[in-house]
Amino acid sequence: MKDLLKFYSLSEIDYRHQYPLIEKIKYFAKGILLYFVLQICALLLMFLVDDFLIKKMGFTSVFKLMMESQKKIKGYYGIFMVVILGPLVEELIFRLILVPKRRNIAIFTFVFLFLIINKTYYLIEINWLLLVSLAVSGLLSFLVFKLLKRNPEIETAIAKRQKIITIVSVVLFGLLHIVNIENLHWELALLYPVYALPQMISGYVCSVQRLKLGFVWGLLFHSTINLMAFLR
C-alpha cells in the first residue's frame, strides 16, 4: 500500500525513469483499484450533496441528470467516441504537455487551436472551416516548435513548474465535464465541482501514469475507465 501511494504521488516525478513492462502492468492495475476506491468516496460525497443540498434547494438531482446524459450515448459510434476518440483528444490536450518537450507542446498547440477554431473534433465533412482550422493550427504549432527550438530556456522554465501544471490540468479536466450536466443553474455553481470529482480523480491517475509510465499508459487507463462506465 505504501509503495502504491508513493507511486501515485507527485512528490517523485522522473519521466525519464524506465519501468520494466511487468512493473508498468502492476502499477496500471493498481491504478484502476485506487481509482475505484477514491470513486466510492467521491460518490458518497455527491450523494450527500444531492440529498441534503440540491434537493432541499428545490432543484432536480444533479446526479440523476448526469446518469441520464450518459444513457444517451449508444451504439458502436458511441463506443468509438467515448472509448477511443474522446480519450485520445483529451489526453493530447491535458496530459501530453505534462512532459514539456517542444514536440509535445507543438502537438498540444495544434490540437488545442484546432478545437478552438473548428469548435469540435467531429470530422463529418470537409469544408472551409475545417481547412482553415488545419492550416492555422498547423502553422502556429510549427512556429511554436521553432520558437522553443531556438529558446530552450522556455522549455526548461515550463518543466520547473511541472507539478503546478499537472494540478491545474487535473482540475480543468474535471471542471470541463460539468458541461455534460443538463440544465445548469448558476445558483449551484459552487456545488458543481463536487460532481466533477470523479473526472478529477480519473485525470489525476491518468496524469501520474502518463508521467511515470508513458503517454500510452495514461491513454489506455482513460479508455479502460470510459469503457467500464459505458458497459455499466
Residue 75 is predicted with a pLDDT of: 76
Residue 109 is predicted with a pLDDT of: 96
Q: Is residue 5, in this structure, part of any structural domain at all?
A: no
Residue 232 is predicted with a pLDDT of: 67
Residue 137 is predicted with a pLDDT of: 96
pTM of the complete model = 0.90
Q: Measured between alpha carbons, how far is 134 from 188 in angstroms, rounded to an integer?
A: 38
Residue 122 is predicted with a pLDDT of: 67
Q: Is residue 105, in this structure, part of any structural domain at all?
A: yes
Q: Flag whether pLDDT at 36 surpasses 90.
A: yes
Q: Is residue 29, in this structure, part of any structural domain at all?
A: yes
List for the chain the helix, strand, coil content (%; round to 5): 80, 0, 20
The whole-number average pLDDT for the span 207-225 is 95
Q: Measured between alpha carbons, how far is 151 from 165 in angstroms, rounded to an integer?
A: 20
At 133-147, the pLDDT tens digits run 999 999 999 999 999
Q: Flag whether pLDDT at 124 surpasses 70.
A: no
Residues with Cβ within 8 Å of residue 109, at least 6 apart in sequence = 137, 140, 141, 144
Residue 35 is predicted with a pLDDT of: 95
Q: Flag whether pLDDT at 18 surpasses 90.
A: no
Print burial letters for 49-73: b (CB count within 10 Å at least 16), e (below 16).
bbeeebeeeebeebbebbeeeeeee
Locate cell 443553474: which residue? Answer: 185
Residue 60 is predicted with a pLDDT of: 85
Question: What's the whole-number average pLDDT of the chain?
Answer: 89
Q: Measured between alpha carbons, how far is 118 from 207 in angstroms, rounded to an integer?
A: 26
Residue 42 is predicted with a pLDDT of: 95
| All cell numbers assigned to 213 | 509510465
| All cell numbers assigned to 139 | 502553422
Strand, helix or coil for residue 125: coil
pLDDT over 90 percentage in the chain: 58
Residue 229 is predicted with a pLDDT of: 83
At 58-67, the pLDDT tens digits run 888 888 888 7
C-beta separation of 25 from 207 below 8 A: no
Residue 98 is predicted with a pLDDT of: 93
Q: Is residue 96, in this structure, part of any structural domain at all?
A: yes
At 44-80, the pLDDT tens digits run 999 999 988 988 888 888 888 887 777 777 777 888 8
Q: Is residue 8, in this structure, part of any structural domain at all?
A: no
Q: Is residue 4, in this structure, part of any structural domain at all?
A: no
Q: Is residue 55, in this structure, part of any structural domain at all?
A: yes
Residue type for position 82: V
Maximum mean pLDDT: which of 12-21, 94-103, 153-162: 94-103
What is the span of the domain harbouring residue 35?
Answer: 20-231
Which alpha helices (DSSP H) does 50-195 contain, by range?
A: 62-71, 75-79, 86-94, 102-118, 128-150, 152-160, 162-176, 192-195
Provide the CB-side half-sphere exposure for 61 (13 A, CA).
12
Q: Flag whether pLDDT at 227 surpasses 70.
A: yes
Of how many residues is the chain composed? 232
Residue 128 is predicted with a pLDDT of: 86
Residue type for position 216: V
Q: Is residue 57, in this structure, part of any structural domain at all?
A: yes
At 109-123, the pLDDT tens digits run 999 999 999 887 766
How far does Cα 154 stand from its chain's mean position?
24
**Total domains present in the chain:** 1
Q: Measured between alpha carbons, how far is 7 from 205 in angstroms, rounded to an integer?
A: 10
Q: Measured between alpha carbons, how far is 159 from 61 in angstroms, rounded to an integer?
A: 42
205 pLDDT tier (thresholds 50, 70, 90): very high
